[in-house]
Copies of this chain bind each other. A is one copy, B any other.
């Protein structure tokens, strides 16, 4: 019987707990600041979803929308102002940024205790060091919570991650390695992907290529964590990297798309914000 790793229901549970935590606060409410630069539609949609999630939990959300021509100094000065604003608990810069901006410098300007996305170099370095203080990137922590909640064994397991981004693949690899998994990080240049997927007990995939692997290219009983958001067919149906119905015939556990990693990423943003709130109100 294939286990469905339902992220929607777990995310609901997490948000409910946060709403109760917020209701019990005696001081001011937590507040998230989101900086969005330019007019990318997908980015605007993501920001909207994040702010709406805040509202569900009675968390304040502020959007700072900058023109696509905003320069580096302008963006940095916004972040510095938010760093120094004691009513702001978390700062999130919606990615991707317009090409003329230096992403790393901008991200690394966020003060460590407000790094709600866990993307600064200090938090990334803490993760490498196995420092429990690290703030994990939302998607990475969302996957960890899913695996933990649904009791998927990590220690000693072979994990193949098909994605090597700073936000997903690299931090997820370090996290699972720290937890005792043997981790392979594959990507576009990988020459024999299926050798890695066939050997894996857990596959985490975020390629944006629907059907990147099929159920003959995995081990029976494998856990599939599908992180991708793809639109397919004339009706632009939302799908992941794998064909859910086909893969479920072979997998031991699998996340649906939608309703798997996606809602978890949003819920964990609020979890991280609550951690930032505590750090900023010590």
Contacts and interface: CB of A to CB of B under 8 A. Distances in A.
A128 interface: yes
A123 B158 CA distance: 28
A195 interface: yes
Contact of A125 (B122, B187, B191): B122
Chain A interface SS verdict (over half):
mixed
List 3 tightest A-B contacts by C-beta distance, closest first.
A121-B125, A125-B125, A124-B125
Contact of A129 (B124, B187, B189): B124
Contact of A126 (B121, B131, B156, B186): B121
Interface of A: 104, 120-131, 155-156, 158, 164, 166, 170-171, 173-174, 177, 180-187, 189-192, 195-196, 199
A177 B170 contact: yes
A136 to B, nearest CB: 13
A203 to B, nearest CB: 14
B170 A128 contact: yes
A171 B129 CA distance: 10
A258 B150 CA distance: 48
Contacts of A131: 104, 121
Contact of A183 (B104, B126, B184): B184
A104 B121 contact: no
21 contacts: A104-B129, A121-B122, A121-B125, A121-B129, A124-B128, A125-B126, A125-B128, A127-B128, A128-B171, A155-B189, A156-B189, A156-B191, A158-B192, A174-B174, A177-B185, A177-B187, A182-B185, A182-B187, A182-B190, A182-B191, A195-B199
